[in-house]
Amino acid sequence: MTVGLKTPSNYYMELITTFPPRPIANDDQLIATQNRINEILDSPSITSDDRDYLKVLGMLVYDYEEQHEIWSTLKGIALLKILIKEDNVSPEKLLEIFEGKETIDEVMMGNRELSVGQLKKLSELFHISPSAFMD
């Protein structure tokens, strides 16, 4: 037996058998993996097993996006606008992040910079680095 590895719990085994982590080969698999990630993140409590599993799924998403996505060429507000459109982010969700329509308009027009809190919330919403929203 290898030293340092622990036997996975029954719950962790259930996670990986219900949705086995595999390299992502196409956009349908990407969407399915992102949906699985969101299901876990939406649960009322996240266990250490959930966090471990999310790390694995996150690495798979990252690897696929690094090879297939063009988002890396977009930065700042241009990226934000595309992500909002592509993900059909609701006005209500934007209000949660920006705390006011006026703030949303000012940010989208480039008249106001994103706050640290807004960067964090956008990063969590879109599962990308906060630095992607900075020009």
Instruction: Tell me the pLDDT tens digit for each residue of 8-39.
Output: 899 999 999 999 999 999 989 999 999 999 99
pLDDT tens-digit series, residues 58-67:
999 999 988 8
pLDDT at 45 over 90: yes
pLDDT, residue 91, reads 87
Q: Is the pLDDT confidence value at 135 over 80?
A: no
What are the structural domain ranges in the chain?
Answer: 10-68, 73-133
Query: Full-prediction pTM beyond 0.85?
Result: no
> Which residue stretches of 1-111 are H helix?
10-18, 27-41, 48-68, 76-86, 91-98, 101-108
Q: What is the largest CA-CA distance in the chain?
A: 60
**What per-residue confidence (pLDDT) applies to 72?**
58
